[in-house]
Structure 1
Amino acid sequence: MRERPIPVGISNRHLHLSQRDYDCLFPNQAMSVRKELKQPGQYAADQTVTLVGPKGKLEKVRILGPVRSSTQVEISKTDARTLGIPAPIRLSGDLNDTPGIKLVSDMGEVNLTKGVIVALRHIHMSPLDALLFGVKHGDSVSVAIEGTPRGTVFEEVSIRVSPDMVLEMHLDTDEANAADADNPQAFAKILKVSS
């Protein structure tokens, strides 16, 4: 079953906002849907912000909805260098001891004291998918990106299992560029599991 191809999704820089931070940045404005994402209930919003770091800024960074309990900014290592922020590689939601950043919209600003990460590469899957692939939530796997002239093996890919998840591997733009993963023929294949 591990031979089954896994779709690859490329995760560009983005952020998830708490309701409080969203209201500061976009007062009296509902978050509006620009595009539904593959993971059920999640979407790219019309609203964007500028990320301002000690060394630089990144404009038009897309907000993903719906709102969350904590604000989280996900960037690549290249973005981190541009901003001058030592963003650690973390799983989504693991925000302890992470750096902050300034968020700017046309209507407001928020100074975060923490919340900036480089997302650890991961595979979303349902419990049935996990059963078929012989893995469980929290496992770490090695994955080959195939179907491209720049095929690559990624180690330490985290497995994320939830009933509301759809099978998809997420790479950030640095990783995707290295493997040519935006090639329409590219797919992921689990090679081995190391829990």
Structure 2
Amino acid sequence: MTPLSTLLPELVALSKSDQSKDEDLTDERKQGEWQTRYSKHAWLQIIIESIVLIFGLIICLYLFYEIAASRHIVKELNIGLNIFESASHHALALEAVAIGGACGGFAFALKWLYHGVAHGWWNRDRIVWRLIVPLLSATLALFTALMIGSGIIPIFSVKITEGPRAGAAYGFFVGFFSDNLVGALQRFANHTLGKIGRTEDKQSGG
């Protein structure tokens, strides 16, 4: 089982490598080049995409407030919908994982939206990716948490599903780095299923 602390040096190294790649903060422009690269129609879509992603992020944050209010961690306001009032502690943890995953996905999509616009990489076809990432991140966070809790994937401690606070933190972590986790799960599946396939081949004399 790999504790999160052993992964931190790798994340720091990745962060430093990303910073070295993005040391040039000029967005490939010369001094005084302030005109936009995009047409009015392109800016209309960029603004709509930004609003949708920010609105989704705000909904996720509000759902976190609802979870906290249901356990009296924060003071409940009159606007509260009490949608998690009857949920069990374990159910709240899993809901926090899914919402945290969506929150991380929205944040990741927003990050790449402003990066793409600033560097001139933005294109209209990427809207599909930006809208689907939060949903996939939530799904990935939830089901990897279930696999960790059941012992299928011994990466993190099973304590991530014991409470909403740890669940939310884990969900956001997975959601924001969902692309990395998909690659890691692919390697894990290839290694595990490959072993099973080779064992069956030996048993069958292949």
TM-score by length of 1: 0.22
TM-score by length of 2: 0.21
Q: Higher strand share goes to which structure?
A: 1
Q: Which has the larger radius of gyration?
A: 2
Q: Higher helix share goes to which structure?
A: 2
